[in-house]
């Protein structure tokens, strides 16, 4: 594991329309969460964690961008070892709580490397992986892509300085792998007028096609990625900023995260939507949004069916 400062290209005011060749969405298995977790609740969190019987299914998405300069992933999904290895979570309290918070339907073939191969890609082809945040269902595939630069915000990376990041579902033992090429990034002032609500951005490939935006709330250092191309409308991959795009439009915060910070980021995303009216907002755990993505892009989107 090496933590180094990634080179900081300047965000461009225009973007290369032909840089992105295809966008794919895959799901590395499925999970179930409580309705109160997904939609929010007036009840205390511990109450619904221990008593709720309502489970809602969701995809655990990763997105693969075929860029002219190489493959770029947005998140790496869930490791099937979370169900096959009883020691995957090293703390007993974490193992106990996980069963109350999530259920999983995930098989060995859902591993990131297998998922990519099933779609005709080799994991070693992945040049960069953007990690929206460090929760276990977004970092589970990093062992399959040791050659890839793993881009994460410095603010998110700083959580590993906490003595107990596992209390926030950040599993140090699966993140600080010797083979992982972590590259924490800092957002830089953007000269692009379209980002009026996001004055600081990070241009992943230096051509304006893939732009990272700070979108805190679910975790302090969560980020989103804007994908712009001639394939279709601009796409904002928002990770877990919201569990469904509707929640952003309805200003409805989930039963987890920092509600005030979430609402502040929702407002910035809605401003971006006002600046880019065609914008598709795609959360990682939203079947309806993935279906919308499929219908709007001139490229195949596979493995996303419920």
x-marked contacts with Zn ion along 129-148 as a string, rule CB under 5 A: --------x-----------
Question: Residue 240, interface with Zn ion (CB under 5 A)?
Answer: yes
| Interface segment toward Zn ion; rule CB under 5 A; list 139-147, 235-243, 252-260, 267-275 | 235-243
Whichever of 58 and 280 has its CB closer to Zn ion, that residue is: 58
Whichever of 228 and 285 has its CB closer to Zn ion, that residue is: 285
Whichever of 214 and 283 has its CB closer to Zn ion, that residue is: 283
Whichever of 207 and 240 has its CB closer to Zn ion, that residue is: 240
x-marked contacts with Zn ion along 92-131 as a string, rule CB under 5 A: ----------------------------------------
Closest CA to 119 of 198, 52, 40, 22: 22
Whichever of 79 and 137 has its CB closer to Zn ion, that residue is: 137
Min CB(178)–Zn ion separation in Å: 25
Min CB(134)–Zn ion separation in Å: 10
Min CB(293)–Zn ion separation in Å: 17
Min CB(37)–Zn ion separation in Å: 11
Paired residues of 56 in beta bridges: 33
Min CB(136)–Zn ion separation in Å: 8
x-marked contacts with Zn ion along 190-229 as a string, rule CB under 5 A: ----------------------------------------
Min CB(39)–Zn ion separation in Å: 15
DSSP the chain: ----PPP-PPPPSS--TTSEEEEEEEEEEEEEEEHHHHH--SS-HHHHHHH---EEEEEEEEEEEEETTEEEEE-----THHHH-TTSS-SHHHHHHHHHHEEEE--GGGSHHHHHHHTT--GGGEEEEE-S--SHHHHTTGGG-TTSEEEEEHHHHGGGGSS-GGGGT--HHHHS-TT-EEEEE--EE---GGGTT-SEEEESSSSSSEEEEE--SSSTT-EEEEE--TTSS-EEEEETS-SSHHHHHTT---SSS-HHHHHHHHHHHHHHHHHSTTPEEEETT-HHHHHHHHHHSSS---S---
Strands, sheet with 223-227, edge to edge from the N-terminal-most edge strand: 188-189, 200-203, 210-214, 223-227, 235-239, 280-283
Whichever of 30 and 228 has its CB closer to Zn ion, that residue is: 30
Question: Residue 149, interface with Zn ion (CB under 5 A)?
Answer: no
Q: Please tell me the distance from the alpha carbon of residue 79 to that of residue 111, in angstroms, as a whole number.
A: 6
Question: Residue 156, interface with Zn ion (CB under 5 A)?
Answer: no
| Interface segment toward Zn ion; rule CB under 5 A; list 74-82, 139-147, 179-187, 240-248 | 240-248
Min CB(132)–Zn ion separation in Å: 8
Residues that bind Zn ion (CB under 5 A): 137, 240
């Amino acid at each position: 594991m090496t933590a180094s400062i990634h080179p900081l290209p300047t965000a461009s005011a225009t973007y290369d329309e032909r840089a992105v060749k295809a966008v794919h969405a895959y799901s590395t298995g499925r999970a179930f969460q409580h309705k109160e977790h997904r939609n929010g609740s007036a009840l205390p969190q511990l109450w619904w964690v221990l008593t709720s019987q309502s489970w809602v299914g969701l995809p655990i998405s990763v997105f693969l961008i075929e860029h002219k300069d190489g493959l770029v992933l947005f998140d790496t999904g869930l490791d099937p070892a979370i169900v096959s290895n009883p020691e995957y979570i090293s703390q007993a309290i974490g193992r106990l709580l996980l069963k109350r918070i999530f259920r999983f339907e995930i098989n060995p073939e859902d591993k990131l490397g297998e998922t990519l191969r099933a779609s005709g890609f080799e994991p070693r082809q992945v040049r960069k992986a953007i990690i929206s945040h460090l929760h276990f269902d977004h970092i589970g595939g990093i062992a399959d892509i040791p050659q890839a630069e793993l881009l994460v915000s410095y603010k998110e990376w700083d959580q590993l300085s906490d003595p107990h990041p596992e209390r926030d579902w950040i599993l140090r033992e699966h993140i600080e792998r010797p083979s992982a090429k972590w590259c924490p990034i800092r957002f830089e002032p953007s000269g692009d007028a379209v980002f009026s609500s996001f004055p600081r951005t990070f241009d992943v490939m230096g051509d304006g096609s893939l732009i990272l935006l700070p979108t805190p709330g679910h975790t302090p250092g969560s980020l989103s990625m804007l994908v712009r191309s001639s394939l279709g409308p601009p796409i904002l991959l928002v990770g877990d900023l919201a569990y469904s795009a509707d929640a952003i439009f309805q200003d409805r915060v989930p039963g987890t995260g920092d509600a005030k910070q979430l609402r502040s980021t929702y407002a910035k995303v809605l401003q971006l939507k006002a600046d880019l009216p065609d914008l598709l907002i795609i959360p990682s755990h939203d079947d309806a949004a993935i279906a919308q993505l499929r219908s709007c892009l001139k490229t195949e989107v596979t493995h996303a069916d419920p």
